[in-house]
Amino acid sequence: MNATNNAPLPVTLIPGDGIGPEVVDAARRLIDATGVRIAWEEAHAGASVFRKGIASGVPQETLDSISRTRLVLKGPLETPVGFGEKSANVTLRKLFETYGNLRPVRELPGVPTPYAGRGIDLVVVRENVEDLYAGIEHLQTPGVAQCLKLISRKGCEKIVRLAFEVARAEGRKTVHCATKANIMKMTEGLLKRTFEEIAPEYPDITAQHIIVDNCAHQLVRRPEQFSVIVTTNMNGDILSDLTSALVGGLGFAPSANIGSEVAIFEAVHGSAPKYAGKDVINPTAMILSGVLMLRHIGAHAEADRLENAVLFTFEEGRHRTRDFAGDAGSCGTRAFTDAILANLGKTPRRTPARTRSKLVLPVTSTAVDLVRPAKREVVGLDVFVESPLQPEVLGPKVQAAAEGTAFRLKMISNRGTVVFPLTGAKTDVVDQHRCRFVFQNPALDVGNGEVGALLSGLERQGLRWMHLEKLQAFDDRPGFTKAQGED
């Protein structure tokens, strides 16, 4: 992709909601002023689309435009209360498989923060389509909700490779992988294991795992120790808001949603509706998202020109929006943008430029079944049962349900803790119980007839089931975790 020599490059432009149109307009004016030739295709998504009754918040024309251009500059989108249940942002990220969300932050001259002078300059590389944000939720009982945390080896591989490639392209020497693998060994652990397997392919970069809660703590104590942090979707969402605060707030935090086919550039912040149309908000995050877009399309000189103009304006300190100047001495969004425009072509004096090479997007396998074990067996079945009974009453009924079937009850857990056989502990229980049955003879698979017999047994005991999960072992390693207190 190159927008400098050939015909104008088509880019889908989504103004978005709230303060979106103001910040997007600022970024667009400045991008155009760099001399890059872009044919903007304006398209819509978010609140206005939900209000028209389109439940996804993203109309077909917008999807068609993105499929054509494969590049998007977008403002924040709102899901108005009472319309749609899925965020239009997440829909866009997921539909176009933008699996990596790059969220760089760096100290900006003249922006007062407790960290001024410490040279914060880091990128959070957030996995963008999996994890709890896969959005697979169920009410398992009227009072117990579940959200599936889905993490795939393929997703981990893509995001880990992207993080190392970002480090290489930006001359960064360290990549931290932040996970909660100590608690969630299968899901968060998969990212940690994948990171540790892939890291040796990048011997020029130091790879370090860090537990995510400590990462948050270290980010507040000594943020300058980090350069690239790769992490799962929800961890990344939270950590990147934290890192934006380190450099002055959401008004300064750009982002790029990167996929193999499509890339979407947007500020980290939302639509801040209370400021909409008031010409008071800071457009820097969106403008810097434009810089990320210019680099992505290979317009490096134009990207540097725009970034330098932004940095020069901060160094000058004559124009500052309300979020970092306070009410006294602040200027409006448009005047701030005009000041940057006037500074195009100027070079910042105090802020060092980073030498960059082109980001090489990782090429990973497209196989659907990336992991193929040599051996697999089914060793049991977890049956989730709704019941108001206490464990001492429920347990014998569940044991009786399994009599005469291929299974025996191993234990019952409630919210992950063993409650039957009785432990003597004082565990509070809710009406969702996980009944773990083990198969008498491990088999290649568990037949419908055997499962049916067990479910009929539960029914005979007056018990309602709502969810089944096979207990599998792959290459002799269990593919499930134990309950707290399970032997």
Residues paired with residue 144 on neighbouring β-strands, in sequence order: 141
213 classed as catalytic: yes
Beta bridge partners of 11: 40
Q: Which residues pair with 126 in a beta bridge?
A: 101, 231
**Does the active-site annotation cover 133?**
yes
Nearest distance, CB of residue 454 and ligand NAP, angstroms: 43
Q: Is 77 in the site for ligand NAP (CB under 6 A)?
A: yes
Q: Is the peptide bond before 273 cis (omega within 30 degrees of 0)?
A: no
Q: For 131-136, which contacts have Cβ atoms below 8 Å and span 24 or more sequence positions?
A: 131/187, 131/232, 131/233, 131/234, 132/233, 132/234, 133/90, 133/233, 133/234, 133/237, 135/86, 135/90
Minimal distance, residue 441 CB to ligand NAP, in Å: 51
Residues of this chain, 295-334, that bind ligand NAP according to CB under 6 A: 323
Please report how close the Cβ of residue 332 comes to ligand NAP at its closest, in angstroms: 12
Q: Which of 17, 121, 131, 237 is catalytic?
A: 237
What does the block give as tokens for 159?
């995001």
Stretch that binds ligand NAP, among 103-111, 243-251, 357-365, 386-394 (CB under 6 A): 243-251
> Using CB atoms, what's the residue nearest to ligand NAP?
270
Nearer to ligand NAP among residue 50 and residue 437 (C-beta): 50
CB within 8 A of 485, min separation 6: which ones? 413, 417, 418, 423, 425
Which candidate in 94, 154, 180, 397 is catalytic?
180
- Rounded to a whole number of angstroms, the minimum distance from the CB of residue 319 to ligand NAP is 14
- Known catalytic membership, residue 476: no
| Per rule CB under 6 A, count of chain residues that contact ligand NAP | 17
Q: How far is the CB of 58 from ligand NAP (least distance, A)?
A: 12
Which residues touch 105 (CB under 8 Å, ≥6 apart)?
A: 120, 121, 122, 123, 124, 240, 243, 244, 246, 247, 252, 253
Residue nearer to ligand NAP on the CB measure, 272 or 293: 272
78 near ligand NAP (CB under 6 A): yes
> CA nearest 441: which of 379, 399, 376, 375?
379
Q: Which of 133, 154, 158, 397 is catalytic?
A: 133
The number of beta carbons lying within 10 Å of the beta carbon of residue 246 is 23
CA angle 237, 249, 262 (to 5 degrees): 45
Identify which of residues 190 and 263 has a Cβ nearer to ligand NAP in the complex: 263
Residues 262-301 that bind ligand NAP (CB under 6 A): 266, 269-272, 281-282, 285
Give the nearer residue to ligand NAP in terms of CB position, either 229 or 281. Answer: 281
Residue ranges of alpha helices (H) inside 175-317 are 187-198, 212-221, 233-246, 284-296, 300-316
Name the one range near ligand NAP by CB under 6 A: 248-256, 350-358, 393-401, 477-485: 248-256
Q: How far is the CB of 251 from ligand NAP (least distance, A)?
A: 3
**Residue 410 among the catalytic residues:** no
Task: Closer to ligand NAP by CB, 89 or 187: give it.
Answer: 89
Our CB check for ligand NAP shows the closer of 249 and 362 to be 249
DSSP state of 482: P
125: Cβ–Cβ under 8 A, 6 or more apart, which residues?
100, 101, 102, 103, 159, 162, 163, 166, 228, 229, 230, 231, 236
**Biggest CA-to-CA distance, the chain:** 83
List the x/- string, 89-118, binding to ligand NAP by CB under 6 A. Answer: x-----------------------------
Nearer to ligand NAP, 132 or 455 (CB): 132
259 closest CA partner among 233, 296, 226, 217:
296
Out of 213, 445, 475, 476, the active site residue is: 213
* Residues catalogued as catalytic: 133, 180, 213, 237
Residues that bind ligand NAP (CB under 6 A): 19, 76-78, 89, 249-251, 266, 269-272, 281-282, 285, 323
